[in-house]
Amino acid sequence: MKGAIDNRPLTKWQWMVMFMGPEWDRETLDALEYSLPRAYEIHLRRIWSAP
pLDDT of residue 1 exceeding 50, the answer is no
Rg (CA), the chain: 12
pLDDT score recorded for residue 5: 56
Chain-wide mean pLDDT for the chain? 66
pLDDT of residue 46 exceeding 70, the answer is yes
- Asked if residue 20 lies in contact with residue 38, where contact means CB atoms within 8 angstroms, the answer is no
pLDDT score recorded for residue 21: 57
pLDDT in tens, 11-35: 666 666 666 555 666 666 666 666 7
DSSP per residue, 1-51: -B-TTT-PBPPHHHHHHHHHTT---HHHHHHHHH-HHHHHHHHHHHHHH--
pTM, whole model, 2 decimals?
A: 0.33
The full set of domain ranges for the chain reads 12-49
